[in-house]
Amino acid sequence: MTLLSVEGLGIGFGGIKAVHDVSFKVAPGEIVSVIGPNGAGKTTLFNMISGVYQPGSGRVVLEGEDVTGMASFRLAQRGMSRTFQNLQIFQNMTVLENAISGFHLQERGPVLADLLHLPSSRRRARAAEAGARELLARVGLERAADREAGNLSYGSLKRLEIARALAMRPKVLLLDEPAAGCNAVETEEIDHLIAEVAASGTAILLVEHDMKMVMRISSHIVVLDHGEKIAEGAPAEVSRNPAVIAAYLGTEEGADADG
Amino acid sequence: MSELLQFLFSGLTVGAVYALVALGFTIIYNASDVVNFAQGEFVMLGGMVTWFGHAAGLPLPLAALVAILATAALGVAINKLAIEPARGAPVVSLIIITIGASVFLQGAAQLVFDKQIHSFPAFSGDTPLRIGGATIQPQSLWVIGGALVVFAGLWLFFTRTLLGRAVLATSNNRLAAQLVGINTNFVMTLSFALSAGIGALAGVLATPITLTAYNVGIGFALKGFAGAMLGGMGNPKGALAGGFLIGLIEALTAGYLSSTYKEAAAFVVILLVLFFMPQGLFGRKSTERV
Amino acid sequence: MPRLTAKSATLLVLAALIAVTPFFFPSGYYYRVGALIFVNGLAVTGIVILTGYAGQISLGHAGFAGIGGYACALAPTHLGLHPSLAGVLGAVISAVLAYLVGRPILRLRGYYLAVATLGFGILVAMVLNNERALTGGPDGIAVPELGLRGLLKDWGLDLTNGQFWYFFCGIVLLIGAWIALNLHQSPGGRALRALHGSEIAAGTVGIDVARVKLQAFVISAVYASVAGSLVALQNKFITPDIAGFMHSIEMVTMAVLGGAGSVLGAIFGAGILTLLPQVLTVLAEYEQLVLGLVMMLVMIFLREGLLPSVLRKLRGRGE
C-alpha cells in the first residue's frame, strides 16, 4: 500500500535543473531515506513535496489525492508534516508554546471564543498544552518548557522541531537532517524516536548525512546525485551499488552547500 | 479626440515623474531588498531646495544642481545612519525606519522652509505647443525627456560599466558579491545617492507644473510604488512602464470620471495588481530559500 | 501563593493607574488628557495585535478611526441610530472594509500591506475631505451627544463631562486590553505569533497564514474604529484629520516606542506620545520631526520598545 508517491518530480532555478524526474513511493510505517552528496537536491526535493516550492514537473500524490504544489498548511491538514535542515523555530515563543503550536489543527476554534476567553477556548488550549507537555517529555525537553526557544542549544531545537511536527500525528513525516549538529547520545535518541514513530504507522521520509544512522533505520533508500535518482533499494543493496559509491567518492572534495 | 490627446499629454507628464520615483525605488530595492518609503521626500526636497536657492538669488540651473547634490548626500546619510545599523532587521522594522525617515524629512522641511506651496519658472517658458488640437507645456517635454534620459543612462550604467555590473551582482547575491571582492557597502551608498539624486531631479523637473510643498512626498511615494509594483518589483523596465501607466490612468480618471478622485486611481491599481498579478507586468516569480 | 499571570498583572496595573491618577490631577483639564491617552491606548492595542503579535504593519489604520468617528456623526442624523449603535455600525463597516482590503493583500508578504494600507488611509481621508455635502469637508461635522452621562446622573452618579469621559474611556481601554491579552495566550493568538516567528513553519503545522493575518487585520481595524468613535463622541465634533496619514503614523510610533509586543508597553507608548505635546507645547512645531526620529531610533536601538527593554534590564539585575 502506498501512502505517498512522488512521480517524476523536477524543478529548475534560473535554467539549471536542480532536481530532475525523481520518483519513489513511501508506505505507512516505512522509513525511506533520501541520500546523496551535498548539492544533490535533497532539500529542494523536500521543499517541493512539502509545498514550499512549486514543482516544475511531476506529481506528488498523498493517499491517492494529487497534492502537487499545494500550500503547506493544506498538506498539514491532510497529514503531512516536516522539519527543516536549518531550523524553523518560533523564536518569539517559549519551548512549550512551540510544541503547543504543533497542535494547531486540534486546538484552533472560533477566534471570537479566543478573544473573549470563553470556556471552549480554554478547554482547547488546555488539551493542547497537556499534549505538548507529553511530547516534550518524550523528546527530553520537559524541563526546558518555560524557557524562550531562542535560548536552546542546537540539538535541543532539533528535538523541539520534531516534537512540534509529531504533535499533529502526521501520516507522513519529512525529516530534513534531524541528527545534524547532535552528539552521539542525542543522535541515538533521535534514532529511537524515529523508529518508534514509524512503528506506530507513520510513513517517514528522511534526509540524513549520518550514514550509520541511515543504514540502521531505513527500510528503503533513494540515492540522488546532481538532482537525479541514480539508485534505490534496501540499505544493503544501495551500499554495494557502484554508481552510489562513485557518486560519493567523486564529490567528496568539491562538496559545497546543500541545495 | 483632441480631448483624449490632452489627457494623454498630462498623463505622460505626471507619469514621467512617477516613473522616476519608481526607478528610484527599484535601484534601492535591487541593491538591498529595502523598499524606501522616503523616496517621495527626495522629490519634495528637489523642488523645495531649488525653490529656496532660486528665491535666495541663485540662477535656476545652479539651484537645481545644488538641490540634486544635497538630496543625494542626504540619501547617503539615511543609508549610513538609519538603514545600515539595522541590517538584518525584520521587514517591518525596515518599513518603520524608512517611513520614520520620510516623516522626519517632512518635519524638517516644514521648519527649514515653510508650509507654503511653491514653484519656480519653467525652463523654456510657458508658451504651450500645439499638437494635433491639444496643447502641451514645454516643461512637460522636459519631464518626459528627463525620465527617458535617466532610464537610458541607468541602462548604460548597469550593462556597460564595471561599477553598474557590481551593483547588479550585489542585488543577485550579496554574499557572493562580497566574496568576489565587491565592496557591497559602497554599492549601497551608491544606490542611495543615485536613487535620491534621481528623485530630486524629478522634483526639479516637475515643480513648475505640479508645484511643491513640504507634504507632497508621500503622494509621490505611493504612486511611484504603485508604478513599480505594476511593472514588477525590481524591474527597471517595469518601473518605467508602470510609472507612465499610473500617470495615464490618473489623467484619464481625472478627465473622464472625477478630478477629485484621480488620486484614488493609483490605490485602486495597487489593489487590482495585488489581486490579479502580484508579480506585475514584467516581474518574475521569486522563490524563497529555506 | 499562586503567581500573578502576566495578564492579571497588566490589567491590575492599568486599573490601578486609571483609578488612582485622578487624585493627582492639578486641574479638571487633565481628565481630558487622560481620556485622550486611553483612546490612543485603545487604538494602539489594536496595533499590538496586528504588529506585535502577527508581525504585520499598517500605515493606514487612521482610516478605520475615521470610519468609526464619522459613523457616530452621520448614522444618528441619517439613519436615526443611537450614537452608541452608530459606533457599533462604524466598527462593523471597518471590519468589512478591512476584510475586503486585506484579503487580496495578506496572501503576500512584507511591503505590500504597508503600501496598500497607506493608500487606503489616504483614500478614506480624501473621501472625508471631499464629500462636503455628507461630511462637512475639511471643516468637520458635529457629533450628537452620547447621553450616558445624563443617564448616570439620573441614577445618582453626577460626573463632570471630563470625569465621565475619563472613566468611560478608561473602562473601554480595560476591556480592549483584556481582549488582547486573552488572545495572546489562546489558540488563535498563538497562531498569530507563530506566523510572526516563521511563516514557513506556521504553514507546516497547519496554520492558514493568510487567514489568520486577515483575522489580526480585521480585529485591529475594529480597535481603531472604536477609538475613533470615542474621540468623536467625546469632542462632539470631528474633522478629517482623524483619518490622516500623520494619525496612522502616530499609532504605529506609539506602539513601537512602548513595545509593540506588549499591551502594557504599547499603552505606555501612547501615554508618552500623548503627554509630550501637552507638557512641552513648543513641541507642536516639531511633532513630525520628533515622531520620525522616534521611529528610526527605536527600531535601530530598542527594537522591542521601551517598556520590554526596561523590564528585561530590571529582571537581569534581579537574577
Beta carbons of C271 and C318 less than 8 angstroms apart:
no
For chain A, strand residue ranges (E) read 4-13, 16-26, 31-35, 57-62, 65-66, 80-82, 172-176, 203-207, 220-225, 228-233
How confident is the model over B112-125, as a mean pLDDT? 91
Please check whether residue A87 lies inside any domain of the structure: no
Q: State the pLDDT at residue B185.
A: 84
What is the DSSP pairing of strand A65-66 with strand A16-26? unpaired
Mutation target among A16, A50, A53, A174 for the B interface, most CBs of B within 10 A: A53
pLDDT one-digit tens code per residue, B172-184: 777 777 777 778 8
Please check whether residue C1 lies inside any domain of the structure: no
Domain count, chain A: 2
Residue ending a domain, among A150, A169, A188, is A169
Same domain, A12 and A132: no
Nearest CA in chain C to A116: C179
Nearest CA in chain C to A162: C205
What is the pLDDT confidence band of residue C318, given thresholds at 50, 70 and 90?
Answer: very low
pLDDT one-digit tens code per residue, B57-106: 999 999 999 999 999 999 999 999 999 998 878 888 898 999 999 999 99
- Contact of B254 with chain C, judged by CB distance below 8 Å, is answered with no
pLDDT one-digit tens code per residue, A159-216: 899 999 999 999 999 999 988 878 888 888 888 899 999 999 999 999 988 888 899 9
Nearest CA in chain B to C200: B290
Query: Which chains, if any, share at least 3 CB pairs under 8 A with chain A?
Result: B, C
pLDDT one-digit tens code per residue, C71-89: 999 999 999 999 999 999 9
Same domain, A192 and A68: yes
Greater confidence, B1 or B165?
B165
- Contact of A84 with chain B, judged by CB distance below 8 Å, is answered with yes
Q: State the pLDDT at residue A256.
A: 42
Please check whether residue A30 lies inside any domain of the structure: yes
Domain count, chain C: 1
Query: Are B287 and A53 in contact (CB < 8 Å)?
Result: yes
Checking if the pLDDT of B205 tops 90, the result is yes
When mean pLDDT is compared across A21-25, A162-166, B37-41, B166-170, the lowest value belongs to B166-170
Query: Are B290 and A47 in contact (CB < 8 Å)?
Result: yes
Which secondary-structure segment (H or E) carries C237?
strand C237-238
pLDDT one-digit tens code per residue, A71-92: 999 999 999 999 998 889 999 8
Checking if the pLDDT of B20 tops 70, the result is yes
How confident is the model over C85-103, as a mean pLDDT? 95
Greater confidence, A38 or C225?
C225
Query: Are B287 and A88 in contact (CB < 8 Å)?
Result: no
Task: Express as a percent the part of chain C with pLDDT over 70.
Answer: 97
| Contacts with B201 (C-beta within 8 Å, 6 or more apart), sequence order | B20, B46, B68, B146, B150
pLDDT one-digit tens code per residue, C5-53: 888 999 999 999 999 999 998 888 899 999 999 999 999 999 999 999 9
Give how far A6 is from chain B: nearest CA, Å. 21
Same domain, A176 and A72: yes
Please check whether residue C211 lies inside any domain of the structure: yes
Same domain, A123 and A246: no
Beta carbons of B82 and C300 less than 8 angstroms apart:
yes
Checking if the pLDDT of C1 tops 60, the result is no
Which residues of chain C lie closer than 8 angstroms to A100, CB-CB? 190
What are the backbone dihedrals phi and psi of residue A4, each rounded to the nearest 5 degrees, phi first? -120, 130
Query: Are C119 and B219 in contact (CB < 8 Å)?
Result: no
Q: State the pLDDT at residue C319.
A: 42
Which residues of chain B lie closer than 8 angstroms to C288, CB-CB? 103-104, 106-107, 110
- Which residue range is the domain that position A182 belongs to? 1-79+170-259
How confident is the model over A52-81, as a mean pLDDT? 93
Q: How far from the centroid of its chain's Cα atoms is residue C74's Cα?
A: 22
Beta carbons of C165 and C251 less than 8 angstroms apart:
no
User: Grid coordinates standing for B278?
Assistant: 502580484
Please check whether residue A85 lies inside any domain of the structure: no
How confident is the model over C228-236, as a mean pLDDT? 96
Give how far C215 is from chain A: nearest CA, Å. 8
Q: How far apart are CA B46 and CA B64, in angstroms?
A: 7
Which residues of chain C lie closer than 8 angstroms to A101, CB-CB? 190-191, 194, 202, 205, 207
| Contacts with C260 (C-beta within 8 Å, 6 or more apart), sequence order | C47, C48, C51, C52, C266, C305
CB-CB: which of C179, C196, C204 is closest to A50?
C204
What is the rounded average pLDDT for all residues in chain A? 89
Classify the C-alpha dihedral C200-C203-C205-C207 as positive or negative: positive
Number of A/C CB contacts below 8 angstroms equals: 112
Please check whether residue C155 lies inside any domain of the structure: yes
ipTM of the complex: 0.88
How confident is the model over A219-223, as a mean pLDDT? 94
Give how far C110 is from chain A: nearest CA, Å. 17
Give how far A142 is from chain B: nearest CA, Å. 28
Query: Are B107 and C126 in contact (CB < 8 Å)?
Result: no
For B68-175, strand residue ranges (E) read 129-131, 134-136
Q: How far from the centroid of its chain's Cα atoms is residue A162's Cα?
A: 8
Please check whether residue A200 lies inside any domain of the structure: yes
- Which residue range is the domain that position C284 belongs to? 6-318
Query: Are A93 and C197 in contact (CB < 8 Å)?
Result: yes
Same domain, A165 and A179: no
Inter-axis angle of helices C83-105 and B262-276, nearest 10: 50
Distances (CA, A) of C108 to B96, B246, B274, B279, C252: 18, 22, 8, 10, 21
Name residue, grid cell 513553519.
Answer: C201
Residue ending a domain, among A152, A169, A186, is A169
Name residue, grid cell 532587521.
Answer: B89
Query: Are B290 and A13 in contact (CB < 8 Å)?
Result: no
Residue A207 pairs in a beta bridge with A34, A176
Per-domain boundaries in chain B: 2-276
Checking if the pLDDT of C110 tops 80, the result is no
- Structural fold of domain B2-276: ABC transporter involved in vitamin B12 uptake, BtuC (1.10.3470)
How confident is the model over A10-23, as a mean pLDDT? 84
Which secondary-structure segment (H or E) carries C141?
strand C141-142
Same domain, A99 and A142: yes
CATH of the domain at C183: 1.10.3470
How confident is the model over B10-39, as a mean pLDDT? 92
CATH of the domain at A13: 3.40.50.300
| Contacts with C49 (C-beta within 8 Å, 6 or more apart), sequence order | C180, C183, C192, C216, C219, C220, C223
Query: Which chains, if any, share at least 3 CB pairs under 8 A with chain C?
Result: A, B
pLDDT one-digit tens code per residue, C257-288: 999 889 999 999 999 999 888 777 777 788 88
Greater confidence, B275 or C69?
C69
Count of beta carbons in the 10 Å neighbourhood of residue A242: 8
